[in-house]
């Protein structure tokens, strides 16, 4: 999704820090970028379709030196990818950058057109641009112009605005999309996330929804949307964040993040060895109905959790994709606990589901990787996944981190409620504490996966199969390969194959089978695989049991208790997707059309 930055400085070189911050925001996903500065009290704006390096090239011989400016990475929502639609947008009076959506832009546009405003772009952004411009033209102060404009606007968004003739004034707005304000001795900075500015600021304010920030001569003032002052609360910036966003010698963030999984799981094993205390303190053991809401990979983590809830507890667990759940209008009551899983903590659909649940008085908990994110702020309690920044658009370490937290939580509930044999819980907990040996074994054999990937890369279509707790891993494997290698892939529960998808299988179909031999349905999965072989499908099996079947390729896994299949078997499916994408030469960390943090519904 779009990334925004605004910098007001005591120095005259904000353009460099704006461009560097935009580079740090690249991971969010974007298709065009731009920068605007105030130069001799006039707005000077440059935009490109393409990457930040293209923007750097464009401005290399333009004098953008200034003490104030804004920048933007655009992920197109309204209007084609072109420089006209790219941000910043500007008038005679103001320039602004915008992340999120102005839902009623059409209505505002019609009104403003009647007043003579001529819309040139296909964006929703011009609606708020011209609204603010209108109030400035009427003589209102910049702050009052923003406050008055917000009264007309519906949607979830964040803004950074600079004003002609005010070379020391910048205003930011947070309303449903992320925005932070940072400061150092030289700079005050507005940005979409703290990681992107951690090198250039020392303290940060995590803005709350409906906060307006005014930066005037380096002074930071906060207001609500009625203009009432609000006290600013600063937090020290963790300087290590800027190291976490380096590739540390890896060719890609995705590979780095896949490789970090043992460290992440080790951290979680120690950070949550008090899970029973947390459950007791938060009174989470009283619920018999749990709803999990999430999107994409986080949703698949929820699907795995459902298997664990059903096996280890008597809790009824329902899992929904957030975009469906928030409009289902399910009749929730205080008997339900709603768990929202989100790496970014900003996913608009998940956040909307959380707000809906809260509005019915339901207790909500989050499982997030980004502290102080919107879901962290809104939920009654949050479990952090402590995985460090995840930059690759394809989620990897956060998936296994979510699974680890969920399993520890579910085993904790089972233990408190005395619903599962204590020895089984101890065995799983013990195996979880030593799973890193097995993950490291898989990571050490990635050259074998790279060889398989060479073979897989020639296929246009793939089916991933798994049963029981391996079924969500089949879904996750298919999502991973489609999002970064653009091979069309679908995940099915292996038992469903014969009910339709088998019709697709012929000598052109790749079929990846996930089958841990310690599963009670292992032999059934193998039978389903035989159906594929009989129809000339091209099979790769990921399993701990060495098979010798003609034309079937295999990646041999370490042996593991079936309950931990989802965590361990996630690793080879991630690696397979990575190496297939590498083979195909795609932009692995920033796949086309996708965004890391999906802040629009």
Catalytic (active-site) positions: 2, 596
For 42, phi then psi, to 5°, come to -115, 155
Closest separation in Å from C-beta 86 to ligand M6R: 23
Which DSSP category does 216 fall into?
Answer: E
d(CA 133, CA 138): 9
Pair 145, 124: CB distance under 8 Å: no
Between residues 343 and 357, which has the closer beta carbon with respect to ligand M6R? 343
Pair 99, 4: CB distance under 8 Å: yes
d(CA 301, CA 505): 28
Closest CA to 344 of 96, 18, 29, 5: 29
**Chain contacts with ligand M6R (rule: CB under 6 A):** 295-298, 342-344, 347, 350, 393-395, 479, 483, 594, 598
Between residues 469 and 599, which has the closer beta carbon with respect to ligand M6R? 599
d(CA 275, CA 420): 17
- CB-nearest residue to ligand M6R: 296
Between residues 186 and 342, which has the closer beta carbon with respect to ligand M6R? 342
468: preceding bond cis by omega (within 30 degrees): no
> Reduced to 3 states, what is the DSSP secondary structure of residue 165?
coil
Closest CA to 433 of 545, 269, 214: 269
Q: How many CA atoms lie within 13 A of 530 on its CB side?
A: 8
Between residues 393 and 526, which has the closer beta carbon with respect to ligand M6R? 393
Q: E strands within 237-329?
A: 289-294, 316-321
Between residues 343 and 485, which has the closer beta carbon with respect to ligand M6R? 343
> Reduced to 3 states, what is the DSSP secondary structure of residue 285?
helix
Q: E strands within 57-128?
A: 68-74, 89-90, 94-102
Closest separation in Å from C-beta 350 to ligand M6R: 5
Closest separation in Å from C-beta 399 to ligand M6R: 8
88: preceding bond cis by omega (within 30 degrees): yes
Closest separation in Å from C-beta 573 to ligand M6R: 11
Q: Tell the residue number behind the tokens 């003032």, with chain if given.
A: 221
Between residues 186 and 261, which has the closer beta carbon with respect to ligand M6R? 261
114's enclosing H/E stretch is: helix 105-114
Closest separation in Å from C-beta 439 to ligand M6R: 19
Between residues 184 and 321, which has the closer beta carbon with respect to ligand M6R? 321
Q: Find residue 492's DSSP bridge partners.
A: 465
């Amino acid at each position: 999704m779009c990334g925004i930055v605004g910098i007001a400085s005591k120095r005259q070189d904000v353009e460099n820090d704006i461009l560097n911050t935009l580079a740090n925001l690249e991971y969010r996903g974007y298709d065009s970028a731009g920068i605007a500065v105030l130069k001799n009290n006039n707005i000077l704006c440059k935009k490109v379709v393409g990457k930040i390096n293209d923007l750097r090239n464009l401005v290399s011989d333009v004098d953008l030196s200034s003490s104030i400016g804004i920048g933007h990475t655009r992920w197109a929502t309204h209007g084609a990818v072109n420089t006209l639609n790219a941000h910043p947008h500007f008038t005679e009076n103001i320039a602004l950058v915008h992340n999120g959506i102005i839902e009623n832009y059409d209505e505002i546009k019609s009104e403003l057109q009647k007043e003579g405003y001529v819309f040139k772009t296909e964006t929703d952004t011009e609606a708020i641009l011209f609204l603010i411009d209108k109030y400035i033209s009427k003589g209102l102060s910049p702050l009052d112009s923003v406050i008055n404009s917000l009264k007309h606007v519906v949607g979830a968004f964040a803004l950074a605005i600079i004003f002609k003739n005010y070379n020391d004034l910048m205003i930011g707005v947070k309303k449903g999309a992320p925005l932070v304000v940072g400061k150092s001795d030289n700079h005050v900075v507005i940005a979409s996330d703290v990681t992107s500015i951690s090198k250039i600021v020392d303290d940060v304010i995590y803005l709350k929804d409906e906060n307006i920030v005014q930066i005037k001569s380096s002074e930071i003032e906060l207001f609500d949307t009625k203009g009432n002052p609000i006290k600013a609360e600063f937090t020290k910036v963790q300087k290590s964040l800027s190291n976490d966003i380096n590739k540390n010698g890896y060719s890609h963030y995705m590979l780095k993040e896949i490789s970090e999984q043992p460290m992440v799981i080790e951290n979680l094993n120690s950070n949550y060895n008090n899970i029973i205390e947390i459950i007791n303190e938060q009174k989470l053991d009283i619920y018999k109905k749990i709803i999990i809401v999430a999107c994409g990979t986080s949703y698949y983590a929820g699907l795995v959790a459902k298997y664990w809830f059903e096996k280890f507890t008597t809790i009824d667990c329902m899992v929904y994709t957030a975009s469906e759940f928030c409009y289902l209008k399910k009749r929730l009551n205080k008997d339900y606990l709603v768990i929202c899983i989100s790496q970014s903590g900003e996913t608009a659909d998940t956040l909307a589901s959380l707000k809906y649940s809260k509005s019915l008085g339901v207790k909500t908990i989050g499982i997030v990787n980004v502290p102080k994110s919107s879901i962290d702020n809104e939920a009654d309690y949050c479990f952090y996944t402590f995985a460090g920044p995840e930059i690759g658009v394809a989620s990897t370490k956060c998936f296994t981190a979510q699974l680890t937290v969920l399993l520890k939580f579910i085993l904790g509930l089972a233990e408190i409620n005395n619903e599962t044999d204590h020895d089984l819980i101890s065995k799983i907990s013990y195996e979880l504490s030593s799973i890193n040996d097995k993950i490291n074994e898989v990571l050490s054999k990635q050259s074998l996966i790279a060889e398989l990937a060479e073979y897989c890369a020639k296929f246009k279509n793939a089916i991933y199969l798994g049963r029981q707790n391996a079924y969500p891993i089949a879904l996750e494997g298919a999502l991973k390969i489609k999002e970064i290698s653009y091979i069309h892939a679908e995940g099915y529960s292996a038992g469903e194959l014969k009910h339709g998808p088998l019709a697709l299988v012929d000598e052109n179909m790749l079929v990846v089978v996930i089958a841990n031999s310690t599963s009670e349905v292992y032999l059934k999965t193998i039978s389903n695989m035989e159906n594929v072989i009989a129809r000339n499908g091209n099979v790769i099996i990921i399993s701990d049991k060495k098979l010798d079947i003609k034309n079937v390729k295999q990646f041999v896994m370490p042996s593991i208790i079936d309950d931990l299949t989802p965590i361990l078997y996630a690793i080879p499916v991630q690696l397979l997707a990575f190496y297939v994408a590498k083979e195909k030469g795609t932009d692995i960390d920033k796949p086309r059309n996708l965004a890391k943090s999906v802040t629009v519904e």
